[in-house]
Amino acid sequence: MEHEISPDYIPISPSSLRTNTTVGCDIFLLAKTTAEVRFVLYCRGDAVFDEAKKDMLVAQSIKSLYIKKEEQQAFFEYLENNFQHIVSDTSIPIEERTKIVHGAATNLIKDLFNDPKSGNVQRAKEFAHNMVDYVIKDSKAAESLLKIAVHEYYTYTHSVNVAAVGTLFGQELGLGVKELKGFCAGILLHDVGKTRISTDILNKKGKLTKEEFDIIKKHPEYGIEVLEETGIEFKEERIITIQHHEDDDGGGYPYGLKKEEIHLCGKIARIIDVYDALTAKRSYADAIRPFAALREMKDNMLHCFDTELFKEFVRFLGPYDPRDPRKKRRKYDVSKYAVS
């Protein structure tokens, strides 16, 4: 007889727990019998998760642990605080590490959109820097990040997806570590201005009215206001936030910039932003396959993008090994990336 697992508990990976740390939330084992399903306390949140506890999980081949849904915030904060250790632990399969990275980043951006205070903005900036280090140090991390498919569109999952793909694309173009970190942080924060727009408009299933779209078009400027209110220094983050809807032909917003008036990181953000929106299921449209998305962008939206940069993006997603130096196609001039 099968029993449904309580929705009050959510599964976590044992690999995400670092030995000799306190997790901050109670950890449970799932005990199934023919009569019932029970959650058994395994490690209290204020107790040390030590080697003995970890060894028992390995010995019993336990693949999943559980936490109370109401305590998942504490768990994600634990992941953030132990990020570097988790992603550098080669005993954890790369796919599992990447899921941990994506999950922690998504929760972080969710916090940011629920409360865009300076502490959450700074968290996003620091996480972006760690995420870039993860990609650079482990060649398999890039491939693993690209394979993660989040099919439902939410502002926070969208921001994480765009940051992941954008960072990998920027690396492929030849951006340096410092530039990649600023770029990744900018992408994570690029839609923060939407926190000042009604969710009724953001989540509307039907077509937006002209008045509603005019409100949506203000989110880049609102985003700059949010960043400025934190008192934190930003460079690439400001550029991406204000320019990610500017089009190469001057038809974008908020300023109608064109071609060389748009910074390289703004150009990249415009391409990745559209690509992820097309390939994710939204409240008003189904997702389309990557090739179909690129075809749509080429046939009907090419005026929005820097043409050469778009070609580089198509090549980046194409069937070739980006680690093979014979197949590098870095024609785009990244020297103009410097932010004054």
Q: What is the pLDDT of residues 21-58, one digit of tens each?
A: 999 999 999 988 777 888 999 999 999 999 999 999 98
Contact 104, 127 (CB under 8 A): yes
Contact 226, 112 (CB under 8 A): no
d(CA 35, CA 329): 61
Residue 208 carries which side chain, given as an amino acid letter? L
Structural domains of the chain sorted by starting position, each given as residue range(s) with its CATH number in brackets: 1-70 (no CATH), 82-337 (1.10.3210.10)
Element (H, E) at 291: helix 290-300
DSSP for 7-30, written as a single string? TTEEEE-GGGPPTTEE-SS-EEEE
User: Residue range 203-214: average pLDDT?
Assistant: 89
Collect contacts of 133-140 with beta carbons under 8 A, ≥24 apart.
133/84, 134/87, 134/97, 134/101, 135/167, 135/168, 135/171, 136/171, 136/177, 136/180, 137/88, 138/87, 138/94, 139/323, 140/94
| CA atoms within a 13 Å half-sphere pointing along the CA-CB vector of 265 | 27
Structure-model confidence comparison of residues 154 and 275, the more confident one: 275
The greatest distance separating any two alpha carbons of the chain, rounded to the nearest whole angstrom, comes to 68
d(CA 262, CA 276): 20
Q: Among 86-100, 107-121, 230-244, 264-278, where is mean pLDDT lowest?
A: 86-100
Q: What is the pTM of this model?
A: 0.81
Backbone torsions φ then ψ of 65, nearest 5 degrees: -115, 175
Collect contacts of 316-322 with beta carbons under 8 A, ≥24 apart.
316/168, 316/169, 316/172, 317/290, 322/142, 322/172
pLDDT tier for residue 265 given thresholds of 50, 70 and 90: very high
Tally of residues, the chain: 340
User: Residue range 225-245: average pLDDT?
Assistant: 91
pLDDT tier for residue 332 given thresholds of 50, 70 and 90: low
Three-state secondary structure call for residue 234:
coil
Structure-model confidence comparison of residues 50 and 164, the more confident one: 50
Residue-averaged pLDDT of the chain: 85
The pLDDT assigned to 335 comes to 64
d(CA 131, CA 180): 10
